[in-house]
Amino acid sequence: MTEETIFSRIIKGEIPCDEVYNDSVCLAFRDIQPQAPIHILVIPKKPIESLKDAGPEDKELLGHLLLISSKIASQQGLTNWRTIINTGEEAGQTVFHLHLHIIGGRKLDWPPG
């Protein structure tokens, strides 16, 4: 069984969040430690630890997360932004519930650190 994370507790309503979008498949809220003027997390309600744990059965869900993240970015007034999925500790993943970062509102450097 997938371990409880801060994000599964947010989904259950046990921890508050600054919600920007909610549907039957996913929830989006502002990151508590924003790295840019706009920094939003999009998480599936299904508890998937990391992108590497998603399977073919999650194809529609993953497409939904990407399309919704684009819709949210546009609704936030962004025309340029970055969508990031950190996978694994060495890539910077700290919460082991799959999430997409939407980061924008400032010039973003490349490559990332």
Q: Which residues are catalytic?
A: 99
Q: Please report how close the Cβ of residue 25 comes to ligand AMP at its closest, in angstroms.
A: 19
Residue among 23 and 89 whose Cβ is closer to ligand AMP: 89
* Nearest to 44, CA basis, from 32, 34, 55, 33: 55
Which parts of this chain interact with ligand AMP (CB under 6 A)?
A: 6, 15, 17, 29, 31-33, 41, 86, 92-95
Q: How far is the CB of 41 from ligand AMP (least distance, A)?
A: 6
Question: 107, 35 in Cβ contact below 8 A?
Answer: no
| Pick 61 or 95: Cβ nearer ligand AMP | 95
Q: Read off the tokens for 34.
A: 């924003």
Q: Which of 46, 37, 47 is nearest to 82 (CA)?
A: 37
Give the Cα separation of 29 and 19 in Å (integer).
Answer: 4
